[in-house]
Amino acid sequence: MQVDLNVLRQKLKETPQEETVDSTEVNPYLLNEVLRPLLAGKELRYGDIDYSRFEADDLRMISHYCDIRDRVICRLYELVGGIADSAPSACSGRAFC
């Protein structure tokens, strides 16, 4: 695999920032008040949870959302690993004076 880092950097800059996994079906309370703080490393206690703000089925949904999210992250790590493992090659043209 050959990657031109300049092109990659340019493409990444141009790509709009958006959610990699669709969260429209996920209960907003569980997403914003439970999952995101947990991902940010915050320690939540069972007493912090407001059980009236979601349905039992919402927990199945967010668990599924986390699975998809984990798979996306895995693929991203594979891609990053692939780039990191590739041997560097010199530019064919002169790059500096």
Q: Footprint of another protein on this chain (CB under 8 A)?
A: 34-35, 38-39, 41, 43-47, 49, 51-52, 54, 56, 59-60, 62-63, 66-67
| Least CB distance to another protein at residue 91 (A) | 41
Rounded Cα gap, residues 53 and 78, in angstroms: 37
Do residues 79 and 12 make contact, with C-beta atoms less than 8 angstroms apart? no
Instruction: Name residues whose C-beta falls within 8 Å of residue 25's C-beta, 6 or more positions apart in sequence.
Output: 61, 65
Q: Which is closer to another protein, CB of 68 or CB of 83?
A: 68
Q: How far is the CB of 25 from another protein (least distance, A)?
A: 15
